[in-house]
Structure 1
Amino acid sequence: MANAINKIKKLELSEEEKRKKELMEMQEALVDNKSAILESLKLMRHMEDKGILPLLNGLVGQGDKVLNVFVKATDKEENTNALRNLLLMVGMLGTINVKELEPILLKMNRGIERVAEQKDTDKKTGLFELLKSLRDPEVNRAITLMLTFLKGVGEETGHKEKNTGQESDERAEIKNR
Protein backbone atom coordinates (compact mmCIF):
# COMPACT_ATOMS: atom_id res chain seq x y z
CA MET A 1 0.00 0.00 0.00
CA ALA A 2 0.95 3.61 -0.59
CA ASN A 3 1.83 6.02 2.16
CA ALA A 4 -0.59 8.88 3.01
CA ILE A 5 0.31 12.38 1.86
CA ASN A 6 1.04 14.47 4.93
CA LYS A 7 2.35 17.64 3.34
CA ILE A 8 1.09 19.54 0.31
CA LYS A 9 3.82 21.47 -1.33
CA LYS A 10 2.62 24.50 -3.29
CA LEU A 11 4.15 25.11 -6.65
CA GLU A 12 6.18 28.26 -6.25
CA LEU A 13 6.83 30.44 -9.25
CA SER A 14 10.20 32.00 -9.78
CA GLU A 15 10.52 35.80 -9.79
CA GLU A 16 10.78 35.79 -13.57
CA GLU A 17 7.60 33.74 -13.95
CA LYS A 18 5.75 36.06 -11.53
CA ARG A 19 6.84 39.08 -13.58
CA LYS A 20 5.72 37.43 -16.82
CA LYS A 21 2.31 36.62 -15.30
CA GLU A 22 1.88 40.20 -14.01
CA LEU A 23 2.97 41.60 -17.38
CA MET A 24 0.35 39.46 -19.14
CA GLU A 25 -2.35 40.71 -16.72
CA MET A 26 -1.32 44.30 -17.40
CA GLN A 27 -1.40 43.75 -21.18
CA GLU A 28 -4.89 42.29 -20.94
CA ALA A 29 -6.05 45.24 -18.82
CA LEU A 30 -4.54 47.69 -21.34
CA VAL A 31 -6.31 46.00 -24.24
CA ASP A 32 -9.62 45.78 -22.35
CA ASN A 33 -9.50 49.50 -21.41
CA LYS A 34 -7.85 50.87 -24.54
CA SER A 35 -10.30 53.76 -25.22
CA ALA A 36 -10.38 54.91 -21.60
CA ILE A 37 -6.60 54.87 -21.38
CA LEU A 38 -6.22 56.82 -24.64
CA GLU A 39 -8.74 59.43 -23.48
CA SER A 40 -6.95 59.69 -20.12
CA LEU A 41 -3.65 60.26 -21.91
CA LYS A 42 -5.26 62.99 -24.03
CA LEU A 43 -6.56 64.64 -20.88
CA MET A 44 -3.14 64.42 -19.26
CA ARG A 45 -1.54 65.97 -22.37
CA HIS A 46 -3.99 68.90 -22.28
CA MET A 47 -3.35 69.38 -18.57
CA GLU A 48 0.40 69.33 -19.24
CA ASP A 49 0.05 71.85 -22.09
CA LYS A 50 -1.98 74.22 -19.90
CA GLY A 51 0.46 73.92 -17.00
CA ILE A 52 -2.08 72.28 -14.71
CA LEU A 53 -0.06 69.13 -14.04
CA PRO A 54 3.00 70.96 -12.71
CA LEU A 55 0.67 73.05 -10.55
CA LEU A 56 -1.04 69.95 -9.16
CA ASN A 57 2.31 68.26 -8.59
CA GLY A 58 3.49 71.31 -6.67
CA LEU A 59 0.30 71.43 -4.61
CA VAL A 60 0.47 67.74 -3.74
CA GLY A 61 4.20 67.90 -3.07
CA GLN A 62 3.77 70.85 -0.73
CA GLY A 63 0.38 69.71 0.58
CA ASP A 64 0.98 70.55 4.24
CA LYS A 65 2.28 74.03 3.46
CA VAL A 66 -0.58 74.74 1.03
CA LEU A 67 -3.16 73.50 3.52
CA ASN A 68 -1.59 75.64 6.24
CA VAL A 69 -1.76 78.76 4.04
CA PHE A 70 -5.37 77.97 3.11
CA VAL A 71 -6.40 77.51 6.73
CA LYS A 72 -4.68 80.77 7.75
CA ALA A 73 -6.37 82.62 4.89
CA THR A 74 -9.83 81.31 5.75
CA ASP A 75 -9.25 82.09 9.41
CA LYS A 76 -9.56 85.81 8.65
CA GLU A 77 -13.07 87.12 9.25
CA GLU A 78 -13.40 88.86 5.89
CA ASN A 79 -12.45 85.68 4.02
CA THR A 80 -14.84 83.60 6.10
CA ASN A 81 -17.60 86.09 5.29
CA ALA A 82 -16.63 86.02 1.62
CA LEU A 83 -16.89 82.21 1.53
CA ARG A 84 -20.22 82.32 3.36
CA ASN A 85 -21.52 84.96 0.92
CA LEU A 86 -20.28 82.96 -2.05
CA LEU A 87 -22.13 79.87 -0.85
CA LEU A 88 -25.26 81.93 -0.23
CA MET A 89 -25.06 83.47 -3.71
CA VAL A 90 -24.57 80.07 -5.35
CA GLY A 91 -27.62 78.82 -3.46
CA MET A 92 -29.61 81.86 -4.60
CA LEU A 93 -28.64 81.25 -8.23
CA GLY A 94 -30.57 78.01 -8.03
CA THR A 95 -33.74 79.86 -7.02
CA ILE A 96 -33.70 82.30 -9.96
CA ASN A 97 -36.32 81.52 -12.59
CA VAL A 98 -34.31 82.08 -15.77
CA LYS A 99 -37.36 81.83 -18.01
CA GLU A 100 -38.90 84.83 -16.25
CA LEU A 101 -35.60 86.70 -16.03
CA GLU A 102 -34.65 86.43 -19.70
CA PRO A 103 -37.22 88.92 -21.10
CA ILE A 104 -36.28 91.44 -18.43
CA LEU A 105 -32.58 91.09 -19.23
CA LEU A 106 -33.28 91.52 -22.94
CA LYS A 107 -35.22 94.73 -22.19
CA MET A 108 -32.40 95.98 -19.98
CA ASN A 109 -29.91 95.30 -22.78
CA ARG A 110 -32.08 97.22 -25.22
CA GLY A 111 -32.28 100.13 -22.78
CA ILE A 112 -28.50 100.13 -22.43
CA GLU A 113 -28.15 100.06 -26.23
CA ARG A 114 -30.40 103.11 -26.50
CA VAL A 115 -28.41 104.98 -23.88
CA ALA A 116 -25.19 104.13 -25.71
CA GLU A 117 -26.69 105.40 -28.99
CA GLN A 118 -27.78 108.65 -27.35
CA LYS A 119 -25.19 111.35 -27.73
CA ASP A 120 -24.07 112.93 -24.50
CA THR A 121 -25.60 116.40 -24.52
CA ASP A 122 -26.22 119.09 -21.98
CA LYS A 123 -29.92 119.18 -22.92
CA LYS A 124 -32.15 118.98 -19.86
CA THR A 125 -35.60 117.46 -19.81
CA GLY A 126 -38.21 119.88 -18.56
CA LEU A 127 -41.34 119.09 -16.58
CA PHE A 128 -43.62 119.42 -19.63
CA GLU A 129 -41.39 117.12 -21.71
CA LEU A 130 -41.44 114.61 -18.88
CA LEU A 131 -45.24 114.68 -18.68
CA LYS A 132 -45.49 114.46 -22.47
CA SER A 133 -43.22 111.38 -22.49
CA LEU A 134 -45.70 109.60 -20.19
CA ARG A 135 -47.99 109.30 -23.23
CA ASP A 136 -45.31 107.33 -25.07
CA PRO A 137 -46.34 103.64 -24.83
CA GLU A 138 -42.73 102.46 -24.41
CA VAL A 139 -42.07 104.90 -21.56
CA ASN A 140 -45.39 104.04 -19.94
CA ARG A 141 -44.65 100.32 -20.20
CA ALA A 142 -41.18 100.86 -18.68
CA ILE A 143 -42.58 102.86 -15.76
CA THR A 144 -45.22 100.18 -15.15
CA LEU A 145 -42.51 97.51 -15.14
CA MET A 146 -40.38 99.56 -12.75
CA LEU A 147 -43.28 100.13 -10.37
CA THR A 148 -44.14 96.41 -10.42
CA PHE A 149 -40.48 95.63 -9.72
CA LEU A 150 -40.41 98.10 -6.82
CA LYS A 151 -43.52 96.51 -5.33
CA GLY A 152 -41.82 93.12 -5.51
CA VAL A 153 -38.70 94.51 -3.84
CA GLY A 154 -40.86 96.00 -1.10
CA GLU A 155 -42.62 92.73 -0.25
CA GLU A 156 -41.80 91.02 3.03
CA THR A 157 -39.49 88.07 2.36
CA GLY A 158 -38.33 87.22 5.86
CA HIS A 159 -40.12 83.88 5.77
CA LYS A 160 -38.05 82.88 2.71
CA GLU A 161 -34.66 83.86 4.13
CA LYS A 162 -32.24 80.99 4.61
CA ASN A 163 -29.59 83.00 6.42
CA THR A 164 -31.05 83.05 9.91
CA GLY A 165 -27.82 83.79 11.70
CA GLN A 166 -26.81 86.72 13.84
CA GLU A 167 -27.03 89.17 10.93
CA SER A 168 -30.83 88.65 10.69
CA ASP A 169 -31.22 89.26 14.43
CA GLU A 170 -29.22 92.49 14.13
CA ARG A 171 -31.42 93.67 11.24
CA ALA A 172 -34.57 92.92 13.23
CA GLU A 173 -33.17 94.86 16.19
CA ILE A 174 -32.39 97.86 13.98
CA LYS A 175 -35.87 97.65 12.42
CA ASN A 176 -37.54 97.72 15.87
CA ARG A 177 -35.72 100.92 16.89
Structure 2
Amino acid sequence: MAKPIEIKPQPRNAREELQRRLDNAPVEHADAMLSLYELLQQLYDSRTLDLLRGALGAGDEVLNHVVRLTTQPESVRSIRNLLIMAKLLSSIDPETLHRISAMLPQAVEQSENGDPPSLWALLGRFRSKDSRRALAAGATLLESVGRELNWKK
Protein backbone atom coordinates (compact mmCIF):
# COMPACT_ATOMS: atom_id res chain seq x y z
CA MET A 1 0.00 0.00 0.00
CA ALA A 2 1.21 3.47 -0.83
CA LYS A 3 2.22 5.79 1.88
CA PRO A 4 0.83 9.33 1.76
CA ILE A 5 3.38 12.06 1.18
CA GLU A 6 3.46 14.37 4.08
CA ILE A 7 3.68 18.03 3.05
CA LYS A 8 4.63 20.52 5.65
CA PRO A 9 4.14 24.07 4.28
CA GLN A 10 6.65 26.60 5.42
CA PRO A 11 5.09 28.94 7.92
CA ARG A 12 4.48 32.33 6.33
CA ASN A 13 6.25 35.20 7.97
CA ALA A 14 4.07 38.19 7.17
CA ARG A 15 6.52 40.59 8.73
CA GLU A 16 9.38 39.37 6.53
CA GLU A 17 7.19 39.57 3.44
CA LEU A 18 6.15 43.10 4.30
CA GLN A 19 9.76 44.13 4.90
CA ARG A 20 10.79 42.67 1.54
CA ARG A 21 8.00 44.56 -0.27
CA LEU A 22 8.95 47.75 1.55
CA ASP A 23 12.61 47.34 0.58
CA ASN A 24 11.65 46.87 -3.10
CA ALA A 25 9.13 49.72 -3.16
CA PRO A 26 11.58 52.58 -3.87
CA VAL A 27 12.90 50.71 -6.91
CA GLU A 28 9.48 49.66 -8.24
CA HIS A 29 7.84 53.04 -7.69
CA ALA A 30 10.73 55.45 -8.17
CA ASP A 31 8.96 57.65 -10.74
CA ALA A 32 5.83 57.90 -8.63
CA MET A 33 7.85 58.74 -5.51
CA LEU A 34 9.78 61.49 -7.33
CA SER A 35 6.53 62.93 -8.64
CA LEU A 36 5.07 62.80 -5.14
CA TYR A 37 8.07 64.65 -3.72
CA GLU A 38 7.73 67.35 -6.41
CA LEU A 39 4.02 67.73 -5.62
CA LEU A 40 4.77 67.93 -1.92
CA GLN A 41 7.38 70.64 -2.54
CA GLN A 42 4.93 72.66 -4.67
CA LEU A 43 2.27 72.38 -1.96
CA TYR A 44 4.81 73.55 0.59
CA ASP A 45 6.04 76.46 -1.58
CA SER A 46 2.51 77.71 -2.24
CA ARG A 47 1.72 77.42 1.49
CA THR A 48 -1.16 75.09 0.67
CA LEU A 49 0.13 72.59 3.21
CA ASP A 50 -0.11 75.25 5.92
CA LEU A 51 -3.67 75.99 4.86
CA LEU A 52 -4.62 72.31 4.91
CA ARG A 53 -2.96 71.81 8.29
CA GLY A 54 -4.89 74.79 9.67
CA ALA A 55 -8.17 73.55 8.19
CA LEU A 56 -7.63 70.11 9.70
CA GLY A 57 -6.79 71.67 13.04
CA ALA A 58 -9.92 73.81 13.00
CA GLY A 59 -12.02 70.86 11.75
CA ASP A 60 -15.51 71.35 13.16
CA GLU A 61 -15.24 75.14 13.28
CA VAL A 62 -14.63 75.33 9.52
CA LEU A 63 -17.46 72.91 8.80
CA ASN A 64 -19.88 74.81 11.04
CA HIS A 65 -18.94 78.09 9.36
CA VAL A 66 -19.43 76.63 5.87
CA VAL A 67 -22.80 75.16 6.85
CA ARG A 68 -23.87 78.48 8.37
CA LEU A 69 -22.90 80.33 5.18
CA THR A 70 -24.56 77.89 2.78
CA THR A 71 -27.88 77.86 4.65
CA GLN A 72 -28.38 81.61 4.35
CA PRO A 73 -31.12 82.59 1.87
CA GLU A 74 -28.67 84.50 -0.34
CA SER A 75 -26.42 81.46 -0.63
CA VAL A 76 -29.32 79.17 -1.45
CA ARG A 77 -30.49 81.56 -4.19
CA SER A 78 -26.94 81.83 -5.55
CA ILE A 79 -26.56 78.06 -5.73
CA ARG A 80 -29.94 77.71 -7.42
CA ASN A 81 -29.03 80.46 -9.91
CA LEU A 82 -25.72 78.74 -10.70
CA LEU A 83 -27.55 75.49 -11.38
CA ILE A 84 -30.02 77.27 -13.65
CA MET A 85 -27.17 79.00 -15.52
CA ALA A 86 -25.42 75.65 -15.93
CA LYS A 87 -28.63 74.17 -17.34
CA LEU A 88 -28.97 77.14 -19.69
CA LEU A 89 -25.39 76.78 -20.92
CA SER A 90 -25.84 73.05 -21.43
CA SER A 91 -28.81 73.73 -23.71
CA ILE A 92 -26.70 75.82 -26.13
CA ASP A 93 -25.02 73.96 -28.96
CA PRO A 94 -21.26 74.05 -28.25
CA GLU A 95 -20.41 74.68 -31.91
CA THR A 96 -22.68 77.73 -32.05
CA LEU A 97 -21.25 79.10 -28.82
CA HIS A 98 -17.73 78.47 -30.10
CA ARG A 99 -18.39 80.33 -33.36
CA ILE A 100 -19.93 83.28 -31.50
CA SER A 101 -17.07 83.45 -28.99
CA ALA A 102 -14.52 83.29 -31.82
CA MET A 103 -16.16 86.26 -33.54
CA LEU A 104 -16.35 88.49 -30.45
CA PRO A 105 -12.67 89.55 -30.38
CA GLN A 106 -12.80 90.37 -34.09
CA ALA A 107 -15.96 92.47 -33.63
CA VAL A 108 -14.46 94.35 -30.69
CA GLU A 109 -11.24 94.97 -32.62
CA GLN A 110 -13.19 96.35 -35.60
CA SER A 111 -15.19 98.68 -33.37
CA GLU A 112 -12.02 100.00 -31.67
CA ASN A 113 -10.19 100.80 -34.91
CA GLY A 114 -10.88 104.15 -36.50
CA ASP A 115 -13.83 106.44 -36.13
CA PRO A 116 -17.16 105.01 -35.07
CA PRO A 117 -19.58 104.40 -37.95
CA SER A 118 -22.23 107.00 -38.68
CA LEU A 119 -25.86 106.44 -37.79
CA TRP A 120 -26.64 105.80 -41.47
CA ALA A 121 -23.85 103.23 -41.68
CA LEU A 122 -25.25 101.46 -38.62
CA LEU A 123 -28.74 101.50 -40.09
CA GLY A 124 -27.27 100.02 -43.26
CA ARG A 125 -25.77 97.17 -41.24
CA PHE A 126 -29.14 96.50 -39.61
CA ARG A 127 -30.61 95.85 -43.07
CA SER A 128 -28.61 92.64 -43.54
CA LYS A 129 -30.30 89.28 -42.89
CA ASP A 130 -27.75 88.33 -40.22
CA SER A 131 -28.25 91.58 -38.29
CA ARG A 132 -32.03 91.22 -38.49
CA ARG A 133 -31.75 87.62 -37.28
CA ALA A 134 -29.64 88.73 -34.27
CA LEU A 135 -32.01 91.64 -33.58
CA ALA A 136 -34.98 89.26 -33.69
CA ALA A 137 -33.28 86.92 -31.23
CA GLY A 138 -32.50 89.85 -28.93
CA ALA A 139 -36.06 91.20 -29.19
CA THR A 140 -37.48 87.75 -28.40
CA LEU A 141 -35.19 87.50 -25.39
CA LEU A 142 -36.19 90.96 -24.17
CA GLU A 143 -39.86 90.12 -24.67
CA SER A 144 -39.47 86.95 -22.60
CA VAL A 145 -37.66 88.83 -19.83
CA GLY A 146 -40.40 91.48 -19.80
CA ARG A 147 -43.08 88.80 -19.63
CA GLU A 148 -41.35 87.20 -16.64
CA LEU A 149 -40.92 90.55 -14.89
CA ASN A 150 -44.61 91.26 -15.37
CA TRP A 151 -45.46 87.81 -14.01
CA LYS A 152 -44.14 88.72 -10.56
CA LYS A 153 -46.71 91.50 -10.15
Query: Kindly tell me: are residues 148 and 68 of structure 1, through their superposed partners in 2, closer, same or farther at Cα, counting changes over 3 Å?
Result: same
How many residues were matched structurally? 137
For 2:33 and 2:87, how far apart are their aligned partners in 1?
Answer: 37
1:119 deviation in Å? 4.4
Instruction: Kindly indicate whether residue 53 of structure 2 is the aligned counterpart of residue 57 of structure 1.
Output: yes
User: Is there any run of 5+ residues in structure 2 with no aligned partner, and where?
Assistant: 1-10
Aligned match of 1:143 in 111, 115, 131?
131
Show the 5 A alignment for 1:95-110: 95-110=91-106
Higher helix share: 2
User: Is there any run of 5+ residues in structure 1 with no aligned partner, and where?
Assistant: 1-10, 157-170
What amino acid sits opposite 2:127 in the alignment? Answer: N
For 2:86 and 2:131, how far apart are their aligned partners in 1?
Answer: 31
Structure 1 residue runs of 4 or more that deviate by more than 6 Å after TM superposition: none
1:18-37: per-residue Cα shift (whole Å, max 9, x none)? 5x764433122333222222
Instruction: Kindly indicate whether residue 31 of structure 2 is the aligned counterpart of residue 44 of structure 1.
Output: no
The TM-score normalised by the length of structure 2 is 0.66
The TM-score normalised by the length of structure 1 is 0.59
1:94 deviation in Å? 3.0
Aligned twin of 2:86 = 90
1:115-154: per-residue Cα shift (whole Å, max 9, x none)? 322447xx974xxxx3x755x5x55335223234236637
Deviates more, 1:70-79 or 1:83-92: 83-92
